[in-house]
A and B are shown apart, each in its own frame.
Chain A
Amino acid sequence: MSVRIFRWLVVMSLLLLVAVPLYWILATSFKTGRQILMSEGVYFPRPFTLENYLYLFQETRFALWLRNSAVTAVASTLISLAIGSAGAYALTRLRFPGRRSFGALVLITYLVPPGLMFIPLYRTFIQIGYTNSLGTLIIAYPTFLVPFVTWLLMGFFRSIPRELEEAALVDGATRFETLYRIVLPLAAPGLLAAGLFCFTLSWNEFLYALIFIADDNLRTLPVGLSEFVVSDFAFWGQLMAAAALASLPVVLVYIYLHKYMVSGLTAGAVKG
């Protein structure tokens, strides 16, 4: 009995904990500037207005930020998945000298944080002469995406029985063909999970996007959001509207694909 109460308590509190801030974002986004300033209709927008959303598309470059974030996130994800799965396959299936150390190296690099790397990485890009472009981000993001993807997929590949590949090899398929025809399809849930993870992290990334990009037209969503705080005035209504819309794509993706996320993550965690 007490178990049921415990369960109910936990579920209710978590539900509340998650729902309240989300509600606050939505509620604020439908309030007028005056309402927010004067704390009128705190709990429910009265009058209810769409002016913030309209403002986003008419007066700001919100659509552009959306596009930039999408391009960056998709490209980074694809690149990271390609590089990561190649590496993971090599590390789990192939024998070569230095395999152990290389595997450890990949994981160690995962521990070097972006909060430390933003200045030296920026200097590296300056040396190459390639800054202020979405490409800069697309190259930079894999630095923290690939190690995790590799780790996750290593766990996944390990869980695929070698016999399947060996049988195919005996049949005369090349290593490459087994990778393509057998391993990858079986690792699809893992790839999906890794892909979702990459997309989310890229979509949300703030620090590199703030520093590496100067061009207004190349701004990504997180940096664009911070534009709404203009020294003396925080346009909370528009900011929350932008926040709601900025979250929407990722949220939608997750609603449909979250179960892969879960199984992919845990397969990697449990087996990795």
Chain B
Amino acid sequence: MSGAPRRIFTIAIILALAGALAPARAADVKLTLWRLKTYIPPADKILDTTIQDCAKKIGAEVQIQTYTFDDMWTKYTAAIESKTLPDIAELDAVGPARLANLGRLSDVSDLVGTVTKELGELAQNAEGAVKFGGKFYAVPHYSNALLLFYRKDLLEKVGAQPPDTWEAINEISVKIKKAGILDYPQGFPWNRTGDGYDPAMSLLWSYGAAWVDKSGKYIGMPKDKAVQAIKVATAPYLTDKTAALDYLSWSGSGNNEAFMAGKIAFTPNGPSILFQEDSTKHPLRKDTAIKIMPNGPAGRNLALTFVMNWGVPVDGKNQKEARAVVACIMSKEKFTAYMTGSFQQAVPLFRSLLSNDYCKVIVETVKLGRPVGWPGPTTPAAAEVISSNVLTDMLTRVIVDKVTPEKAVDEANQRIKEIYDRLPVK
């Protein structure tokens, strides 16, 4: 090569070498965060933006992975075994209990302290899912309360008042069926989703049939009370014929769709029905009403099982940064923006934020709602009772397999006892 090109070539080589040998920019801290994929894409977007902003603020990079409610435990199970839990994990009502018991969650009491300073006290029952042995193992953030949905126009047609007991729901359903309005108006699906096990707990607890005592130790469901509850729950399927067998196999969306298709008059669900009706300008929106879940002889002991919390697993190598991100996500400005952007579907678990912005019914439910494992704390054993669908199986045994309620209770108690033997409550 001659003259000028040679010089250019040499300079180019030198520059390239300089670039290659120059010290690499200090690697950003890389965090992984797992969150639930919700049915409100705009809210998810707000949360993602918040997370990324928070990460940038502390000079970290976050990779967000999502899971749906159905495959949440598939993901977490795989990660628990392979010791690859993310740096920040959004957990449900039983996640913190399970993971804390395995020693896989960091103590975040200080973090909760910081958060409550900004956002105020936690809601009445929010601690149950995250506080064990006096320490906090996750930071609660929102709940999706389970409400009783009903068609107020149909109730008017048969001259009924909105029901406040489980029996009343059945009675009104019978009236609606007799009037020839709907064939199967009672849409309580004792299935293997939140729409099944959440009301199942509310039902049993409202009849005084909890399976543990205040300390969380196993005592077994009192047979007479449990049988009473079962009879009320299964009557629509067995005797009244106001509920269709198909409802038992609904996935989480089944009852939403049936309600909006105008085929059922009652169903338990989170506020998603309202959201869907609003967003599609649904004709039934004006006839859709909500009420707090019913009362029973032992009181209105509602379950609050859809609560989401931020945990910081010990697997992560960047504990400090992870906690900083969580603190930032839960800062007043960002958190309220997220809650506002969820179309009132997500309800904050902080007392002062439970205000007029939210429907009274929802607020009341959150205030009254009890954690899994009531009257005791949420324990891994209680978690497994729910995730193994013991309660809804008990009901379907009576409905589908035509077992007697007494036998079903015995079976269920046996299953629960076996779980508690395997996962003793400390």
**Chain A residues near B (Cβ < 8 Å):** 33-34, 37-39, 59, 122-123, 125-126, 131-132, 210-212, 214-216, 226-227, 229-234
Instruction: Contact check, A212 vs B253: say whether CB atoms are below 8 A apart.
Output: no
Query: Which A residues touch B256, using CB under 8 A?
Result: 232-233
Name the B residues within 8 Å of A212 (CB-CB). 78
Q: A33-B280, A211-B74, A214-B79 are in contact. Are A233 and B253 (CB under 8 A)?
A: yes
A37, A59, A210, A229: the one contacting B280 at CB < 8 Å is A37
**A59 pairs with B81, CB closer than 8 A:** no
Partner of B70, one of A34, A132, A229: A229
Hey, what's the 0/1 contact readout for B241-259 against A, CB within 8 Å counting as 1?
A: 0000000000111001100
Interface pairs (5), CB distance under 8 Å: A59-B41, A122-B81, A126-B83, A229-B68, A233-B276
**Do B81 and A123 touch (CB < 8 A)?**
yes
Contact B65 A231 (CB under 8 A): no
Q: Given A132-B82, A227-B68, 20 other A-B contacts at CB below 8 A?
A: A37-B260, A122-B82, A131-B78, A210-B74, A211-B74, A215-B65, A216-B66, A227-B37, A229-B251, A230-B68, A230-B69, A231-B38, A231-B69, A231-B252, A232-B253, A232-B256, A233-B39, A233-B253, A233-B256, A234-B251
- Determine the chain A residues whose CB is within 8 A of the CB of B70 once the complex forms: 226, 229, 231
CB neighbours of A215 from chain B (8 A): 63, 65
Chain B neighbourhood of A233, CB < 8 A: 39, 252-253, 256, 272, 276
Provide the residues of chain A in CB contact with B39, threshold 8 Å: 230-233
**Contact check: which of B65, B81, B272 meets A216 at CB < 8 Å?**
B65
* Contact B68–A226 (Cβ < 8 Å): yes
A37 pairs with B78, CB closer than 8 A: no
For window 72-105 of B, CB contacts with A under 8 Å fall at 74-75, 78-79, 81-84
A210/B71 in contact, CB under 8 A: yes
Closest A residue to B193 by beta carbon equals A231
A-B pairs under 8 A by CB, number = 83
Is B261 in the interface zone, CB < 8 Å from A? Answer: yes
Q: Is B186 located at the chain interface by the 8 A CB criterion?
A: no
A68 and B36 CA atoms in complex are apart in Å by: 22
Bound form: Cα–Cα A211–B257 in Å? 30
Binary A-proximity of B40-82 (CB < 8 A = 1, otherwise 0): 0100000000000000000000011110111100110011011
Q: Do residues A131 and B84 form an inter-chain contact, with CB atoms below 8 A?
A: yes
* Nearest-neighbor residue (CB-CB) of B257 within chain A: A37
Q: Which residue of B lies closest to A234 (CB)?
A: B253
Known contacts A37-B257, A37-B260, A211-B74; is-contact A231 B81 (Cβ 8 Å): no
Interchain CA distance A33-B279 in the complex, whole Å: 10
A131 to B282, CA, bound (A): 46
B270 lies within 8 A of chain A by Cβ:
yes
Q: Say yes or no: A230 contacts B37, CB within 8 Å.
A: yes
- CA A125 to CA B84, docked complex, whole Å: 13
| Nearest-Cβ distance from residue A120 to partner chain B, whole angstroms | 12
Q: Tell me whether A226 and B71 are in contact in the complex, defined as CB-CB below 8 angstroms, given that A232-B272, A234-B251 are known contacts.
A: yes
Centre residue among A132, A226, A233 by max chain B CB count within 10 A: A233
Closest CB in chain B relative to A194 CB, distance in Å: 31
B269 at the interface (CB under 8 A from A): yes
A52: shortest Cβ distance to chain B, in Å? 14
Taken together as a complex, chains A and B put the C-alpha atoms of A33 and B41 apart, in Å, by 14
B282 / chain A contacts, CB cutoff of 8 Å: 37-38
- C-alpha gap A229/B79 in the complex (Å): 22
Chain A residues in 8 Å Cβ range of B269? 232
Taking CB atoms, residues of chain B closer than 8 Å to A211 are: 74, 78
A34 and B280 contact, CB distance less than 8 A: yes
Q: Compute how far the CA of A229 lies from the CA of B39 in the bound complex, rounded to whole angstroms.
A: 9
B253 and A231 within 8 A (CB): yes
Let me know if B194 is at the binding interface, CB within 8 A: yes
Docked CA distance A122–B81 (Å) = 9
Contacts of A226 in B (CB 8 A): 68, 70-71
Cβ–Cβ < 8 Å partners of B257 in chain A: 37, 234
Closest to A232 in B: B272
Residues of A within 8 A of B276 (CB): 37, 233
Among candidates A33, A214, A216, residue contacting B78 with C-beta atoms closer than 8 Å: A214
CA of A131 to CA of B71, assembled, Å: 18
Distance in angstroms between the alpha carbons of A212 and B78 in the assembled complex: 7
Bound-complex Cα distance A59 to B44 (A): 12
CB distance from B51 to the nearest CB of A (A): 14
Closest to A35 in B: B280
Q: What is the chain A residue whose CB lies nearest that of B195? A: A232
Instruction: Report how far A231 CA is from B146 CA in the complex, Å.
Output: 14
Q: Check B65 against A214 for contact (C-beta < 8 Å).
A: yes
Q: B41 — which chain A residues lie within 8 A by C-beta?
A: 59
Interfacial chain B residues near A59, Cβ < 8 Å = 41
Residues from chain B with Cβ under 8 Å of A231 in the complex = 38-39, 68-70, 193-194, 252-253
**Residues of B close to A132: CB separation below 8 A:** 82, 84
Within 8 A of A (CB), among B21-38: 37-38
Question: In the complex, what's the smallest C-beta–C-beta distance from A155 to chain B, in angstroms?
Answer: 38
The distance in angstroms between the C-alpha atoms of A109 and B31, with both chains bound, is 41
CA–CA, A215 and B69, complex, Å: 16
